Amino acid sequence: MDMNILINGVYVIVAALFIMGLKLLGHPSTARKGNLISSIAMLTGVIVTLLDQAIVSYELLLVSMLIGSIVGAYAAKKVAMTSMPELVSLFNGIGGLASVGVAWASLMTDGISSFVVFVSFLALVIGGVTFSGSLLAWGKLSERIAGRPLVFKGQIIVNVAVLTVMVAGGTQLLNSPQSSDIQWLIFVTALVLGLLVVMPIGGADMPVVISLLNSYSGIAACAAGFALQNNLLIVAGALVGASGIILTNTMCKAMNRSLKNVLVSGFQKVTSNSITLEGEIKPISADDAYYILEAAQSVVVIPGYGMAVAQAQHAMKELQVLLENNGAEVAYGIHPVAGRMPGHMNVLLAEADVSYEQLFEMDEINPRIDGFDVAIVIGANDVVNPAARDMEGSPIYGMPVINADLANTVFVLKRGMATGFAGVDNPLFFKENTRMIFGDAKETLNGIIRQFAD
């Protein structure tokens, strides 16, 4: 059998496995299996590709794969759940940098066509934007850089100038594809553009940024696939790019904002003088909260990034079991952009072995939330802010939120009165039916658990 036919036949099977893996990633109960299938498919594709190519050194490739596997396994095992968004962002950046390497190698090949030069240019640009943008996103997520939008006077002019230089460099690249000076010029301008794209995006939009950069890494890989004339890399990159765009669009809808709005503006301070927060804070202790929970017949838990910081998911699962043994129904309301990456809360609760059947999306939980005796808000802020529903002057007005304030009683577990990542005050804290439980969420939950045990 012709080797080319065999390899392309395997590529078709691998592509089908990629699609199956993506499908399985669509639900928490099958996500691990989907990830495993996709990983095996990619390894198979790499091995088959190596059979048909002139390889400089198999030994070097094997050493590189071994080093990468060790680093990946160590990072996945040791990274804290609070740092998972930063890790995902770094992985996106590494994917973009890999596409840059492929593009650079393709441009150094003798006698390449104008089409290969063009797609290599795209891979160089998109990969560079993904790499630097992901590094900046990592800095914001890890709070090494301020999470607020970073803007400066004349930023639009600078953006246009950078794009102009980049396009001019691409035009020259068609005439001199092996010119290292032109290649470096394009790569550096791509890095600058990546920083300029992410700088004006506020911290509250970071989940959208992560999914968008993931899409960029896929598009860069797709362009690199065209440069290499490798069908599998084209398909894999296209799948990642398309799925990333779909996820980005879904998350933008969950925030009632367009992608353009996310990219060109951040959350700004409230400008309307008509917005005032009425009422007063009513703090209670964990001991007092126990008596209310002990009598509750239905409880909804609404987690946020604060739960990840406190590592409170296991304590919440323990409390869930006690509540259920006491005859109460327990459900979890998950907002699409809760946390700092897509699916952040789902990952945390899965780690604590919370049943997938108890996780409800925002659109599923909101119609029935007024029927719950108690809503427990753990470290969430912006995603339960009723200002998004009621205050037209609020910068988050129109953003769909979980209507926690409609439950009979609301417990807000929070360290203090600081605003959320969007920097917007939350009227929920001042509602008549809201009780604030200040302190570390894990310690608070453990205090309630001890009361049940007694």
pLDDT digits (tens, 9 = 90+) for 149-181: 777 788 888 889 999 999 999 999 988 888 989
Is there a single domain that holds both residue 103 and residue 200? yes
Identify which of 268-272, 275-279, 341-345, 365-369 has the greatest average pLDDT.
365-369
Residue 261, pLDDT score = 67
Is there a single domain that holds both residue 225 and residue 312? no
Q: Which residues pair with 298 in a beta bridge?
A: 329
Is there a single domain that holds both residue 219 and residue 290? no
Mean pLDDT of 138-154: 78
Residue 274, pLDDT score = 43
Residue 147, pLDDT score = 67
Least confident of 59-63, 265-269, 272-276, 359-363: 265-269
- Quick check: 421 pLDDT over 70? no
- Quick check: 130 pLDDT over 60? yes
Is there a single domain that holds both residue 196 and residue 249? yes
Inside any domain, residue 4: no
Inside any domain, residue 388: yes
The CATH number given to whatever domain includes residue 404 is 3.40.50.1220
Inside any domain, residue 313: yes
Please report the beta strands in 255-339, taking only residues with DSSP state E, as ranges in sequence order: 298-303, 329-334
Residue 452, pLDDT score = 86
Is there a single domain that holds both residue 163 and residue 222? yes
55 pLDDT tier (thresholds 50, 70, 90): low
Mean pLDDT of 362-367: 92
CB under 8 Å, gap of 24 or more: what pairs does 250-254 form?
250/336, 251/207, 251/208, 251/211, 251/336, 251/337, 251/342, 252/208, 254/335, 254/336, 254/337, 254/362, 254/400
Inside any domain, residue 48: no
Stronger pLDDT, 6 or 233, i.e. the higher one: 233
Last residue of a domain, one of 233, 264, 295: 264
219 pLDDT tier (thresholds 50, 70, 90): very high
Last residue of a domain, one of 197, 230, 264: 264
* Rounded CA separation 24/33 (Å): 7
Residue 418, pLDDT score = 64
Inside any domain, residue 37: no
**DSSP assignment string, 91-145:** HHHHHHHHHHHHHHHHHTSTT--HHHHHHHHHHHHHHHHHHHHHHHHHHHHTTSS
Domain region containing 444: 286-453
Is there a single domain that holds both residue 236 and residue 307? no
Q: What percent of the chain has pLDDT over 90?
A: 41
Residue of 317, 313, 333 lying closest to 325 (CA atoms): 317
3-state secondary structure of 175: helix
Question: Which residue in the list 382, 390, 405, 454 is annotated as catalytic?
Answer: 382
Give the predicted TM-score (pTM) of the model: 0.75
Mean pLDDT of 288-302: 93
Residue 272, pLDDT score = 42
Last residue of a domain, one of 204, 232, 264: 264
Written as one letter, the residue type at 13 is: I
CB atoms within 10 A of CB 294: 14
422 pLDDT tier (thresholds 50, 70, 90): low
Is there a single domain that holds both residue 210 and residue 321? no
Is there a single domain that holds both residue 309 and residue 343? yes
Inside any domain, residue 104: yes
- Quick check: 268 pLDDT over 60? no
420 pLDDT tier (thresholds 50, 70, 90): low
3-state secondary structure of 206: helix
Least confident of 55-59, 157-161, 402-406: 55-59
Is there a single domain that holds both residue 232 and residue 313? no
In the block, residue with structure tokens 């072995």 = 353
Inside any domain, residue 100: yes
Number of domains in the chain: 2
Is 110 a catalytic site residue? no
Is there a single domain that holds both residue 208 and residue 152? yes
Inside any domain, residue 67: no
- Quick check: 122 pLDDT over 90? yes
Is there a single domain that holds both residue 85 and residue 179? yes
- Quick check: 69 pLDDT over 70? yes
Looking at residue 203, the DSSP 8-state letter turns out to be G
Mean pLDDT across the chain, nearest whole number?
Answer: 85
Residue 270, pLDDT score = 38
Is there a single domain that holds both residue 299 and residue 257? no
- Quick check: 310 pLDDT over 90? no
Residue 271, pLDDT score = 41
